[in-house]
Amino acid sequence: MENYNMNLTLKVWRQKNSAEKGGFQTYQVKNVSSEMSFLEMIDVLNEDLINEGKDPIAFDHDCREGICGMCSMYINGRPHGPWQNNTVCQLHMRAYKDGDTIVVEPWRANAFPVIKDLMVDRSAFDRIIQAGGYISVNTGSPVDANAIPIEKDKADAAFAAAACIGCGACVAACKNSSAMLFLSAKASHLALLPQGAPERKSRALAMVAQMDKEGFGSCTNTGACEAVCPKGISIENIARLNREYMCAAAVSDKG
Amino acid sequence: MLDSKIPSGPLESKWTYYKGHCKLVNPANKRKLEVIVVGTGLAGASAAASLGELGYKVKAFCFQDSPRRAHSIAAQGGINAAKNYQNDGDSTFRLFYDTIKGGDYRAREANVHRLAEVSANIIDQCVAQGVPFAREYGGMLNNRSFGGVQVKRTFYAAGQTGQQLLIGAYQAQERQVALGNVKQYSRHEMLDVVIIDGKARGIIARNLVTGELERHFGHAVLLCTGGYGNVFYLSTNAMGSNVTAAWKAHVKGAFFGNPCYTQIHPTCIPVSGDHQSKLTLMSESLRNDGRIWVPKKKDETRKAVDIPEEDRDYYLERRYPAFGNLVPRDVASRAAKERCDAGFGVGTTKQAVYLDFRYNLINKYGRTEASKHGIENPDEATLERLGKEVVKEEYGNLFDMYEKITGENPYEVPMRIYPAVHYTMGGLWVDYELMTNVNGLYALGEANFSDHGANRLGASALMQGLADGYFVIPYTIGNYLADEIATKPIPTTHEAFETAEKAVSDRITRLMNIKGSKSVESFHKRLGKIMWEKCGMARNEKGLTEAISEIQALRKEFWNDVRIPGIINEMNPELDKAGRVADFMELGELMCRDALNRKESCGGHFREESQTEEGEAKRDDANFTFVSAWEYKSESNWEMHKEELIFEVAKPTQRSYK
């Protein structure tokens, strides 16, 4: 692979905290290697800012392997940048060429208030899981792991849904800021397994109620979420959740 | 003074005996007892969930924005358990023995045996929680092999096993949050332990969003804060992984066990340049199907695919025919370094070896699939196509990750890999009950030193984290808290809280007031370079002695010249990092001192002065069959205590994987 260096113009959203108004700042970044990751490019810019006595850009990141779900940047109008099935920490600078201008914003959603610059508060996702995103089993002595055979196809489908990293790109991409892809991935993961079946109805109702309470919007099936999901979570999960929800709501007197 | 509190009786009945005789706390009293859990990875989340289920009042802290981000999530290959589902001769004893041997006879037998005993329960528990492990067509769980082992006992979920296990534990924790048994504090960093009358009674934590310091009381404190591999700057750890919580406990009196035991993982994506912020692991599970080689000729110029079989040196298969590519990590890493140092490395930097899947893709998977589909005499293209599908299912996410980082397609060309810092076997010294030498202060998971000796076997970290949290601490903490039921919560206005908070606050102010000229990152990089070069894969007396004075000088420079932008009372990642790097610099010195003191080679600790004729690690059992537990006295001043290791069952021998 040919490596090259480039000069870039970055327009980055800067916002001191959740109370203050933010705005774009423009930076020139020189001699960026195509081998760098996008976040390493921001690291280099931050080193320069610190050396100039300025405030570095705050952003969330941790594992830098595309699995922890912490990184979250809206790059040129797309969560996690231009590559398919990718998180921004795994985006590498060979995606860009000399002279490019790159606009970087935080996730934008009422349910994800900005903490600082590109960092947002995604604790609403934790509260959706608290509402029912689990199987109610205590630590103890469950049956032997092989006591209940599970069809490979179902186990694989549950795994595909469980691969969600909770990054929130689906919400950021959605014009209604709906959290349905996130929620349905969890509901599907658990409902597809025999262990999760007993609670499937109550789970669907409780998680959807919590999602509404957090201020996420409704799903109108445009599929923007699926298109940007770094883990390729399918919107079939939303269809499955809708069926579960309808069934559950129809028979529930709790509504 | 160092009482490891190992129960008496034969090895295989110690844990049963302990569980039958430890003190219990009745349900009504549990409600009155508060437990602080710091860190929400596998050990922390499983402990918080399990203790919440039992009825204790739990507070769980993590520095990330959600407990689900903890670095356990990045574990790839799998989790070991002695289930013997494969009928290949596995047993609790074998898992115990492999772990002791893999650790080069530097772990505590009783702890390791307990770990092997509870391993099977972990798999049952995780399946009940809905962890989607890989399955076979018959619906049963599948297994793969890991290094240092001749059975298939590793359970997995593609290359995302850690993620699936952590999500399971996280969900269990969130359920307890919903039930009101666990209170969760995200974006909070523990900055000190509060000790009252010799017992851990709480912590000082900093709210990373507002910068405010908070005081939290607990009848007991659990540190589940992971390892300290980031002392090397470049490692496979997450950017935020740090030693701060463990280090604060150490400075407050908890002994640090075997700090020099570091695991260098053989298969990571090599460093590409100075900008590099972290290294990425390629799971050990890849060595099930990947063959490691370098060219036989120095300065080979042909591309990997153009080098014929007879010009390749499969050096692991050559040196270790019995275990081949699946030798333990320390052995595989040193062998890679040996080849590269001898001038046979590949890639632009020559600091890499090939990990090649083509042989098994075609011969193992391709042929099996062809046979399944009834294709007779398949040509190579067919075998390749069929094999690719299986390899994709087994390792798809790892291959994708490799391609994203390097821009090369590992289905077509071999991966280039090189060893990188991955795990730290050392950690806070704990007794059989996982309590440090400070009463009421526990360390679980990678944060403690206890189970892996001088080298951890693959797929054993997940096992240990969950064993400690789900199945050990729920028993052992009761044995301590049973005597605390009369202790009322201590108000955080207590003098000890005041003093601890003031010390934390003073240190932060001191850091902010340096207003020097160099970034935190630049100091971290320099520390990492010293550690990697002089306390890394190979260590010697001269280098370690130099490293100690270099680190002392660097630390001095840091405290005079670091520049931290921003202010204290706001979200300030540079300030957070500065505190962590300052602690890493103290730890780095201790690691070098421990490495210098241990004049033998064992596991991941390789002293060049102590090797066999074939270049293998040579232990000195007569003089070093002990755990070094370091007591902090003052800056750059420690006293070493010894815990003698007694092997009643697994008799130490020179490890051989030939």
Looking at chain B, the whole-number percentage of residues with pLDDT higher than 90 is: 95
Q: Is residue B415 located within the same domain as residue B513?
A: no
Of B155, B226, B567, B611, which is closest to residue B427 (Cα–Cα)?
Answer: B226
Chain B residues lying within 8 Å of A50, measured CB to CB? 519, 563, 565, 574
Interface contact flag, A152 B401, Cβ < 8 Å: no
Nearest CA among B233, B234, B239, B229 for reference residue B262: B229
Q: Is the pLDDT of residue A253 over 70?
A: no
- Tell me the chain B residues in contact with residue A93 when contact means C-beta distances shorter than 8 Å: none
pTM listed for this prediction: 0.97
Cβ <8 Å between B566 and A165:
no
CATH class of the domain defined by A122-251: mainly alpha
Q: What is the DSSP string of B24-92?
A: ---HHHHTT-EEEEE--SHHHHHHHHHHHHHT-EEEEE-SSSSGGGSGGGG--S-EE----TT-SS--H
Let me know if residue B209 belongs to a domain.
no
- Judging contacts by C-beta atoms under 8 Å, the chain B residues touching residue A142 are 124-125, 127-128
Domain A5-105: top CATH class: alpha beta
- Is residue B573 scored above 50 in pLDDT? yes
Contacts of B140 in chain A (CB under 8 A): 146, 149
Q: Which residues of B523-546 are buried (b: 16+ CB within 10 A; e: fewer)?
A: bbbbbbbbbbebbbbbbbeebbee
The model's pLDDT over A119-168, given as tens digits with 9 standing for 90+, comes to 999 999 999 999 999 999 999 979 999 999 999 999 999 999 999 999 99
- Residue at B186 is within a domain: no
Q: Among partner residues B50, B158, B519, which is closest to A139 by beta-carbon distance?
A: B50
The HSE-up count of residue B565 (CA atoms within 13 Å, CB side) is 18
Structure tokens at B434: 């996982």
For the cut 90, the answer to whether the pLDDT of residue A1 exceeds it is no
Torsion of CA A154, A160, A166, A170, to 10 degrees: -110
Instruction: Name the residue among B74, B127, B134 with its Cβ closest to that of A65.
Output: B74
> Domain tally for chain B?
2
- Answer yes or no: do B127 and A166 touch at CB < 8 A: no
Query: B396 and B527: one domain?
Result: no
Domain containing B288 equals 264-420
Is residue B538's pLDDT more than 60? yes
When pLDDT is averaged across residues B226-248 and rounded to a whole number, the result is: 98
Same domain, B272 and B415: yes
Q: Which residue of B lies nearest to A32 if distances are taken between CA atoms?
A: B275
Please report whether residue B431 resides in a domain: no
Shortest Cα distance from B314 to chain A (angstroms)?
26
- In chain A, which residues have their Cβ closer than 8 Å to the Cβ of B171? 129, 133-135
pLDDT at residue B408 tops 70? yes
The pLDDT, as a whole number, for residue B396 is 87
Q: Residue B552 belongs to a domain with what CATH number?
A: 1.20.58.100
Task: Give the number of residues written for chain B.
Answer: 658
Count the neighbouring beta carbons within 10 Å of the beta carbon of residue B313. Answer: 16
Tallying the residues shown for chain A, one arrives at: 255
Set of chain B residues whose Cβ sits within 8 Å of the Cβ of A56: 565, 573-574
Dihedral pair phi/psi, residue A19, rounded to 5°: -85, -30
Tally C-beta pairs within 8 A across A and B: 220
CB contact under 8 A, B73 and A141: no
Average pLDDT over chain B, rounded to an integer:
96
> Rounded to an integer, what is the distance from CA B654 to the centroid of its chain?
25
Distance CA B194, CA B34 (A): 14
User: Do B300 and B397 belong to one domain?
Assistant: yes
Cβ contact, residue pair B128, A115, below 8 Å: no
Token pair listed for A4: 């090259």
CA Rg value for chain B:
24
Amino acid code (one letter) for B356: D
Evaluate if residue A255 carries a pLDDT over 50. no
- The CB density around residue A146, as the number of other CB atoms within 10 Å, is 17
Burial, B487: exposed, middle or buried (Cβ in 10 Å; 0-12, 13-18, 19+)? middle
- For B243-282, letters b (16+ CB in 10 Å) and e give bbbbbbbbbbbbbbbbbbbbbbbbbbbbebeebbbbbbbb
User: Tens digits of per-residue pLDDT, A9-58?
Assistant: 999 999 999 999 999 999 999 999 999 999 999 999 999 999 999 999 99
pLDDT band (50, 70, 90) for residue B656: confident
Nearest-angstrom CA–CA distance, A60 and B633: 37
Place of tokens 């935020």: B240
pLDDT recorded at residue A254: 55
- Rounded to whole angstroms, the Cα distance separating B436 from B630 reads 12
* Percent share of chain B, pLDDT over 70: 100
Please give the residue of chain B at the shortest CA–CA distance from A122. Answer: B65
In a domain, B145, yes or no: no
pLDDT tens-digit readout, B414-456: 999 999 999 999 999 999 999 999 999 999 999 999 999 999 9
Average pLDDT over residues A66-93: 97
Q: Given a cut of 60, is residue B624 above it in pLDDT?
A: yes
In a domain, B537, yes or no: yes
Domain spans in chain A, listed from the N-terminal domain onward: 5-105, 122-251
Indicate whether B269 and B378 sit together in one domain. yes
Residues B284 and B395 placed together within one structural domain of the fold: yes
Please state the rounded mean pLDDT for residues A64-91: 97
DSSP string, B90-129: --HHHHHHHHHHHTTS-S-HHHHHHHHHHHHHHHHHHHHH
Q: Is A196 on the interface with B (CB under 8 A)?
A: yes
Spatial distance between the Cα atoms of A2 and B123, rounded to a whole number of angstroms: 46
Contact partners, residue B306, CB within 8 Å, separation at least 6: none
Instruction: Write the DSSP symbol of residue B231.
Output: G
Could you tell me which residues are beta bridge partners of residue B35? B58, B220
Q: What is the mean pLDDT of residues B226-253?
A: 98
∠ CA B124-B127-B131, nearest 5°, is 140
Residue B43 lies in a domain: no
- The sign of the CA dihedral A67, A71, A75, A79 is positive
pLDDT in tens, B486-516: 999 999 999 999 999 999 999 999 999 999 9
Question: Which of the listed residues B400, B420, B440 is the one where a domain comes to its end?
Answer: B420
Residue B229 confidence class, pLDDT cut points 50, 70, 90: very high
Least Cα distance to B539 among B481, B484, B617, B469 occurs for B617
Q: How does residue B265 score in pLDDT terms, banded at 50, 70 and 90? A: very high
Q: Tell me the nearest-neighbour CA distance from A29 into chain B, angstroms.
A: 14
Question: Which residue type sits at B490?
Answer: I
The distance of Cα B639 from the centroid of its chain, to the nearest Å, equals: 25
